[in-house]
A and B are shown apart, each in its own frame.
Chain A
Amino acid sequence: MSSLKSMSALHGIVSPGRYGKQDGEPGVVASERRDIGLATIAARKGHEADLTAAVKAAYGAVLPSGPGSAVGPGVRFIGIGPGQWFAVSETLANEALADDLAERLKGLASVADHSSGRAIIRLEGPEVRAVLAKGLALDLDPRVFGDGAAATSTIGHMGALLWRDGEAYDIALFRSVGGSFWGWLRSAAAAFGLEVVTTS
């Protein structure tokens, strides 16, 4: 089988630098998380409990029953719907994550590789919530959207999966709308100053 090359979704679209308001500290710092493993997991009918036990044994995480994260060593599992999860890993890069999940969860879940299929954009900084509020109809106040919280919704009418990792907000978009999202982000964050860094 031929292997696919991992490519940045924003290569040639986004350049590092300062955008919008130039003076003072940037309100938002954006970076693309590249070369990470992404996969979806869908429980096979009647195997939900076995799947939860297998994930706990193999990855040290208890699959969340709602929109939220469970983090084991190296892999984050995010609830995206009933019986469905999105897995994210830096240590199991690119397709290695889906290969590993498919092997360890054989017969219990259907696993699909999504690495390079999504653009993962990390937003940090004091004004992230103010920027997201311009396009996302969700309450991100830390009292209701704490560390590890997750939601599938739309940002600027583009389908997005959002989760909180510490003080950072990670956004997964289909890579085909990466450029459109960048256009939205650049406009929405201009008033606060946007700093784009490339490294994750």
Chain B
Amino acid sequence: MRITCPYCGERALDEFTYRGDATVKRPDSLDENTAEAWVDYVYLRDNPAGPHKELWHHGAGCHAWLEVTRDTVTHEILDVAFARKGC
């Protein structure tokens, strides 16, 4: 599997580290009534068969965090963008 880094270009998989689901959002509040949202953020993940947005770190290259859209069935990389917007 190869990932086309928006900064470095096409690179081998061993330059990258997988972080996880890119769609989960950290709750803003620590209030008790947000406990359910925290459980969701920390533990619960969808397990889609198909396109999945995920975070990868280009640790052996430009050190940027990337948002990769990967098909979990075929491993096809559908899109790669910087996780930090406005780069």
A residues sitting closer than 8 Å to B (CB atoms) are 66-67, 79-84, 137, 151-154, 159
Contact = CB atoms under 8 A, between A and B. Distances in A.
Contact of B7 (A81, A137, A159): A81
Given A66-B7, A67-B7, A80 B12 contact: no
Mostly helix, strand, loop or mixed at chain B's interface?
loop
B35 interface: no
A153 B61 contact: yes
Contact of A67 (B8, B12, B15, B60): B8
Contacts of B84: 82
A151 B61 CA distance: 8
Contacts of A82: 7, 62, 64, 82, 84, 87
A97 B64 CA distance: 26
Given A67-B7, A81-B7, A152 B12 contact: no
A80 B64 CA distance: 10
21 contacts: A66-B7, A79-B7, A81-B61, A81-B62, A81-B64, A82-B7, A82-B64, A82-B82, A82-B84, A82-B87, A84-B62, A84-B63, A151-B8, A152-B61, A152-B62, A153-B8, A153-B15, A153-B60, A154-B14, A154-B60, A159-B60
Interface string B62-79: 111000000000000000
A61 to B, nearest CB: 19
Mostly helix, strand, loop or mixed at chain A's interface?
strand
B53 interface: no
B26 to A, nearest CB: 20
A66 B5 CA distance: 11
A162 B6 CA distance: 18
B14 to A, nearest CB: 8
Interface in B26-69: 60-64
Contacts of A83: 87
A80 B62 contact: yes
Contacts of A80: 62
A82 B60 CA distance: 14
A190 to B, nearest CB: 25
Contacts of B62: 67, 80-82, 84, 152
A59 B59 CA distance: 30
A149 B42 CA distance: 42
Contacts of B12: 137
B6 to A, nearest CB: 9
Contacts of A84: 62-63
A173 to B, nearest CB: 13
